[in-house]
């Protein structure tokens, strides 16, 4: 599979996944004191890696999945939100978003330069 042919679509999907992840992480933080609440996360990059390992024929069909974390240690009230984990995840997610947006922006500039004959 030629991944370069699907770069823009893939980058848009990555941006969408990071946007969804930011909402999910914010929801976790908002529910940090709700008894019984289980934190959630978004899986996308792992799914993408698996598909690319299989040849990547269906890379554009991969959608982000919201998953509930049932493995993290919960407090006595059953809530397993750890603010340190959430804040670290938010920072990592922001960096990924900025990286993907920067790559997409660079591709757009290269395409515009090619169209207009800029160097």
Q: What is the per-residue pLDDT for 118?
A: 62
Q: What is the per-residue pLDDT for 57?
A: 80
pLDDT, tens digit (0-9, with 9 covering 90-100), for 39-94: 999 999 999 999 888 887 888 888 999 999 999 999 999 999 999 999 999 999 99
Q: What is the per-residue pLDDT for 6?
A: 53
Q: Taking the model in full, what pTM does it have?
A: 0.83
How many whole angstroms separate alpha carbon 33 and alpha carbon 61? 36
Asked if residues 104 and 11 have their Cβ atoms less than 8 Å apart, the reply is: yes
- Asked whether the predicted pLDDT for residue 1 surpasses 70, the reply is no
How many whole angstroms separate alpha carbon 6 and alpha carbon 13? 11
Which pair of tokens denotes residue 40? 């959630």
């Amino acid at each position: 599979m030629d991944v370069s042919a699907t770069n823009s679509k893939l980058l848009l999907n990555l941006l969408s996944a990071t946007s969804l992840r930011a909402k999910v992480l914010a929801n976790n933080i908002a529910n940090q004191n709700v008894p019984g609440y289980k934190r959630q996360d978004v899986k996308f990059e792992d799914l993408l890696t698996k598909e690319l390992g299989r040849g990547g024929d269906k890379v554009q069909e991969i959608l982000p999945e919201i998953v509930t974390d049932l493995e993290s240690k919960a407090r006595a009230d059953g809530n397993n939100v750890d603010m340190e984990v959430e804040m670290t995840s938010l920072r990592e997610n922001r960096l990924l978003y900025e990286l993907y947006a920067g790559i997409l922006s660079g591709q757009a500039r290269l395409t515009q330069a090619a169209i207009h004959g800029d160097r």
